[in-house]
Structure 1
Amino acid sequence: MTLLDAVLSLSEAPESSQALQRILRALAQVTAADALSVLAAAEDGSVGVAAQIGLSPAAMGLSFRPAEHPRLRRATLAAGPIRFLDPSEPDPYSGWLLGNAGEIHPIHACMAVPLRVQGRLAGLLTLDALDPHGLGDLRDEDARVFAALCAGALRLDAGLAPALAPGAGEAPGGQALPGRSAAMQRIEREIAMLAPLSVPVLVTGETGVGKERVARALHERSPRASRPLVIVNCAAIPAQLVESELFGHRKGAFTGATAARAGRFEAARGGTIFLDEIGELPLSAQAQLLRALQEGEIQPVGEDRPRRVEARVVAATNRDLRREVAEGRFRADLFHRLWVYPICVPPLRERREDIPALCERFAAEVAAELGAERVDFTEAALRALAQGAFPGNVRELKNTVERAVLRRTLAEGKGAAGRRLVLRREDVDPAETTASGAPERSGGPLVEVGGERLLLGGAPGEEPVETLAETLERARREAFARAFRAAGGNAATAGRLLGLSRSFAYKEAVRLGLIPAPGPRKR
């Protein structure tokens, strides 16, 4: 009767706040949580306590900025229930538990579920149990049900669930690609129109523009959101194994098939399968894919009878499929079956006005990972980024911002935890981001202007232009060298500075020749 009581609260409660309170009481009966709360999203990107059980009465109305709280930030970006297992992450409710004015013990059970109304983040459902195993009996599926009820209650009162401001706390179910350009608004409208349907969708665009994010948004806003999203990189599968990988095989179907295996389509049953780089599929696999789209059937390798399978297909490519069809490398009938309604994601150079919003989002994500209070940009740094060429598009921009945060952290010789970092122009490395693509001189004089160190002198082309791979490798070596110097050669400390594990930091330092390789073991 507990779930029924929670459902009835939506129709019987006169106000959404009362409905939320009743839902939390019903949830409290099926969990060992010491504190439960519903946080409602505000227009400025903050989330405030709209209903709670187990917190101090003074907590009502308490407001948090997710960017300043790693757990809340991760929860706003999550696709579903998320359990926090890292005891080093601070709990926002420390000091607010009823009858417990002190800090919550680091080792306790904590989880959160994002609440969404019409595809936008409306708030969070949070649960805390002082017993580390206190939430072990709560299944994710049940948490999703209660979260859906809370989202419905928030919808009763628009004042408790305003849409987030652009660029603030965007979640995978919210805006697919941050930005306010006309192109991004068009894509948002197309996703909203196509998400509830089952028709196949083809996402086109250059490498690194964010095609996978569009696919995720189509899945997460669809009625299939509770079912699997299976991602397949067609270019990464050897040609001779493509059909087995996608459609499965029976035992003994070919050499090495020692057991029967279900394919990716079976794994995506009832959900969505995202076929990235679909232009790389061999013609034999294209014929099977066409049958799956037209008839809803697949035939595992070595089996005589087809199997029924129901999964929505979202595909992506950076190739011109019309040309591929004309040159005989892609089936015309499959092309027309996929080309029901294509979504074209433009390159970053055609929507530079989106770069500031993207930079702020990426900086907030890396700040949450490093435990930094926040990351800001000087005007000169944002201006340099906005003028960047970025042939690798959004992916390259993200790498640039993450690298800049690490450079600033290492340059200041302190850890990022709990600190506010300000990225300057030299942190974003103008040699990699000038619109012309030509590196600036690195040996000219430095002058201080308005708190910025600017590089003067030197003619364009004075230094040879590096390939992107060479530039990234040089930056990687520099970052690792600084980290190991700051850590006095200690791999564990260097790994923490870089946000990496000790073992990976050690192995990479050996590969880069920064520390000697271990000698042979003595027997």
Structure 2
Amino acid sequence: MSPISSSAIIELALNLASSLNTNDRFDRLLDTVRKTIVCDAVALLSYHGDMLKPIALQGLSRDTLGRRFLVAEHPRFAALCQSKAPIRFPADSPLPDPYDGLLVDRIGDLPVHSCMGLPLYYDDKLLGLLTIDSLTPHIFEDIAERTLDVISAMASATLNTAFLIEQLEHQADHSQQVVTELTEQAWKRDGGELIGESQVMQQLKQEIDIVAPSDFNILVYGETGVGKELVARTLHQKSLRKNGPMVYVNCAALPENLIESELFGHVKGAFTGAERNRAGKFSLANGGTLFLDEIGELPLAAQSKILRAIQSNEIQPVGQDNVEEVNVRIIVATNRNLKEEVTAGRFRADLYHRLSVYPIRVPLLQERVGDIQLLSGYFVEQTKQKLAISQLKLTAQAITHLEQYNWPGNVRELEHVISRAALKARSRQKHKTIIAIDRDDCGALNTVSNDKLTPSNEVALTNKTAIGINLREETDHFQRQLIRNTLTQTNGNWAAAARSLSIDRANLNRIAKRLNIQVIKSVIEN
């Protein structure tokens, strides 16, 4: 193969210079690579410490964009990350190919094929990899070294430019932090990444970028399973407090008699069982972020104490006379409509206004058009690692099946479906190197939407939809009936009822109080 021509270099440079955005720039780079080198697949991956993230690809299934490749688990990637020069792997290389089963035009295991990778360096820093694959063996052997050097230089410059633009656009005052942000061990362990390219997700990410650097209190709201905690962690990670602690509190799990102690701490001897001084969540979060999940479950008495702490930036541990100053940013999350809760008298209006300086709604999964395949790829890669499977993929039929469902359980339900499907697929294909998740592995996903109702669902919903449904009232009605029935079965024993419902007794009492449920015991004389 002849070296890359000067006209091709000029064309690529002009294309990159005229690109409107980063994605367009990457696409033009890959187009030029495929014009210069005959291949079946090409991918650009960014390097993040011990992980490679696909950011542009051609010839590979789209769910590959959702995957995150741990370098240590992929020998070919490991070799490329340790090399300063391009590597052409032998056609009969025994090293497993990370793209096995992921080529768009190839079903099943990859046969003997050509594979090479170009480490992309800028100022002696590894930015990422450019990988090129062909189903034709030995096709890369005659490519001139000069051609690969030029492609590497152009790709490295393109990737570095994209990183610099991202830094300037989003965090000019923290420009050196952006590229390494997702490589921090604590972030990867406790946080994660907002996967998605849909319009609503782009809007969500923009909202996060706008408010994260401020110290405003933020209300994150949305239905169960949409990823509110992940949004909260992303807000913290993008804030000026990212090097400080982020303390998580599940308000729904706090026993009512210990809420004040949990949040503000206590001193030794403050109450029975207080055998030593204990710092509260506000103190632990000092200098960082306090994330109050399920804030709508807090009783009114606790709400007033939190309001006082937010207003004065002071707390008073239980049993202590003097107050302590704290510097905490508050992020709260709820699946309730707090405005309605305020109207109903179940949530303090002054606290609501303090917490909702900048409200952020996390969209439903069914609103995120095009994101299901990316999220599926992300969860497939995670599941593959957990189950120690060499390669795991989704068939086209499985992806179509997943995309046709409306996901009432949102992202969390998708993650669970992928996990179950992987177990079923592995059981069916015990002796295969590539485990393929098929439609049947995903199980029956019965879509319920306005335009796709099954006959049984039509019957069940006809009367309700004719007059409209108030979700909160329906939920309260269901909870009220369930708790009453359980209390009846346990003869009014609250502790037994709480065990039967798998919740804390204090939480059960709080919910029952909100729903106006009482147990009246009477004495019957013979």
TM-score (norm 2): 0.53
The within-5 A match list for 1:218-297 is: 218-297=235-314
Alpha-carbon distance between aligned partners in 2 of 1:388 and 1:210, rounded to the nearest angstrom: 18
**Hey, what does 2:357 align to over in structure 1?**
340
Shift of 1:47: 3.5
CA distance in 2, matches of 1:93, 1:364: 20
Q: Does 1:427 align with 2:430?
A: no
Aligned partners of 2:253, 2:268: CA distance in 1, in Å? Answer: 23
CA contact (8 A) 1:381 1:423 kept: yes
Cα distance in 1, alignment partners of residues 193 and 417 from structure 2 = 21
CA contact (8 A) 1:233 1:277 kept: yes
Report deviation, 1:421. Answer: 2.3
**Distance change (3 Å), C-alpha of 1:94 and 1:369:** farther
2:88 matched residue in structure 1: none
Q: Structure 1 counterpart of 2:419, which letter?
A: E
Aligned to 2:78: 92
1:394-441 CA-partner distances (Å, limit 9, x unpaired): 111111011111111111124x8xx43221101111x2x22139xxxx
Contact 1:43–1:163 (Cα < 8 Å) also in 2: no
The residue identity in structure 1 corresponding to 2:78 is: P
Q: Give the whole-Å Cα distance in 2 for the aligned partners of 1:285 and 1:161.
A: 46
Partner of 1:4: none
Taking the aligned partners of 1:191 and 1:359, their CA distance within structure 2 comes to 23
Answer yes or no: is the 8 Å Cα contact 1:68–1:374 preserved in 2. no
How far apart in 2 are the matches of 1:214 and 1:315?
Answer: 11
- Asked whether the equivalents of residues 259 and 302 of structure 2 are also in contact (C-alpha less than 8 Å), the reply is yes
Name the structure 1 match of 2:226. 209
- For the Cα contact (< 8 Å) 1:276–1:316, is it kept in 2? yes
The alpha-carbon distance between structure 1 residues 159 and 350, as it changes in their structure 2 partners (threshold 3 A), is closer
Q: Distance in 2 between matches of 1:342 and 1:410?
A: 45
Larger radius of gyration: 2
Contact 1:179 1:357 in 2 (8 A): yes
Aligned 8 A contact 2:45 2:128 in 1: no
User: Residue 73 and residue 192 in structure 1: after superposition, are their counterparts in 2 closer, same or farther (change >3 A)?
Assistant: farther
SS at structure 2 position matched to 1:202: strand
Q: Report deviation, 1:70.
A: 3.2
Amino acid at match of 1:293: I
Note the alpha carbon deviations across 1:241-285, whole angstroms, 9 max, x for none.
111111101111111111110011111111111100000112222
C-alpha distance in 2 between matches for 1:267 and 1:408: 44
Cα 1:403–1:90 change in 2 (3 A) is: farther
Q: Which moved more, 1:289-298 or 1:394-403?
A: 289-298
- Give secondary structure in 1 for the equivalent of 2:275: coil
How is 1:171-182 mapped onto 2 (pairs within 5 angstroms)?
171=182, 176-182=193-199
Name whichever structure is richer in helix by fraction. 2
Do 2:66 and 2:195's aligned partners in 1 also have CA atoms closer than 8 Å?
no
Give the superposition deviation at 1:372: 3.1
Distance 2:417 2:423 in 1: 10
- In structure 2, how many angstroms separate the alpha carbons of the residues matched to 1:367 and 1:162? 34
Who is 1:70 aligned against?
Answer: 70
Superposed, which structure 2 residues align to 1:471-486 within 5 Å? none
Are the structure 2 counterparts of residues 435 and 282 from structure 1 closer, same or farther at C-alpha, using a change threshold of 3 Å?
same
Question: What's 1:158 paired with?
Answer: 161
**Deviation (angstroms), 1:170:** 11
Aligned partner of residue 234 in structure 2, secondary structure:
helix
The amino acid across from 1:294 in the alignment is Q
Q: How far 1:220 sits from its partner (Å)?
A: 0.7
Q: Given the superposition, is the C-alpha separation of residues 409 and 246 from structure 1 closer, same or farther in structure 2, using an over 3 Å criterion?
A: same
Query: How far is 1:367 from its partner?
Result: 1.6
Q: Distance in 1 between matches of 2:166 and 2:420?
A: 32
In structure 2, the CA distance between the partners of 1:406 and 1:175, relative to structure 1 (3 Å rule), is: closer
Alpha carbons 1:69, 1:90 under 8 Å: kept: no
Q: Distance in 1 between matches of 2:269 and 2:211?
A: 41
Give how far 1:340 is off. 0.6
Gaps of 5+ in 1: 1-41, 50-64, 75-88, 99-120, 125-152, 438-458, 466-523
Q: Which moved more, 1:308-317 or 1:290-299?
A: 290-299
Q: Secondary structure at the match of 1:410?
A: helix
Equivalence for 2:380? 363
1:395 and 2:395 are equivalent in the alignment: no
SS in 2 for 1:92: helix
Cα distance, 1:238 vs structure 2 = 0.9
Which amino acid in structure 1 is aligned with residue 44 of structure 2?
D
Aligned length: 315
Task: Please give the secondary structure, in 1, of the residue aligned with 2:439.
Answer: coil
Corresponding residue to 1:372 among 353, 371, 389: 389
- For 2:442, what is the secondary structure of its paired residue? coil
Structure 1 residue 202 displacement after superposition: 0.4
Question: Contact between 1:347 and 1:393, CA under 8 Å: does it hold in 2?
Answer: yes
Q: 2:344 matched to 1:327?
A: yes
Do 2:266 and 2:317's aligned partners in 1 also have CA atoms closer than 8 Å? Answer: yes
Deviation at 1:376, TM superposition (A): 2.1
CA contact (8 A) 1:43 1:162 kept: no
Cα displacement string for residues 291-318 of structure 1 (whole angstroms, at most 9, x for unaligned residues): 2222111111111221111111100000
1:247–1:299 contact (8 Å) kept in structure 2: yes
1-side partners of 2:282 and 2:221: how far apart?
22
Q: Residue 44 of structure 2 aligns with which residue?
A: 44
Distance in 1 between the 2:427 and 2:265 partners?
Answer: 48
| 1:201/1:176 CA distance change after superposition, 3 Å | farther
> Deviation string for 1:157-196 (max 9, x for gaps)?
42677879xxxx9956999532222211111011001111
What displacement does 1:71 show? Answer: 4.7
Alpha-carbon RMSD across the aligned residues, in angstroms, is 4.1
- Counting aligned pairs with the same residue, the percent is 44
Preserved CA contact (<8 Å) 1:69 1:92: no
Cα separation, partners in 2 of 1:245 and 1:156, compared to 1, 3 Å: same
Separation in structure 2 between the aligned mates of residue 207 and residue 408 of structure 1, nearest angstrom = 28
User: Does the 8 Å contact 1:175/1:188 carry over to 2?
Assistant: no
* Residue aligned with 2:402, SS: helix
For residues 240 and 122 of structure 1, do their structure 2 counterparts lie closer, same or farther at Cα, with a shift above 3 Å needed?
A: farther
Partner of 1:53: none
Corresponding position: 1:199 with 2:216:
yes
Q: Which amino acid aligns with 1:158?
A: T
Partner of 1:410: 427
Task: Label 1:291 to 1:160 Cα distance change in 2 as closer, same or farther (>3 A).
Answer: closer
- Change in 2 beyond 3 A, CA 1:160/1:274: closer
Q: Deviation at 1:211?
A: 0.2
* Partners of 2:66 and 2:447 in 1: CA distance: 33
Find the counterpart in structure 2 of residue 447 from structure 1.
none
Whether the aligned pair in 2 keeps the contact of 1:248 and 1:264 (CA below 8 Å) is yes
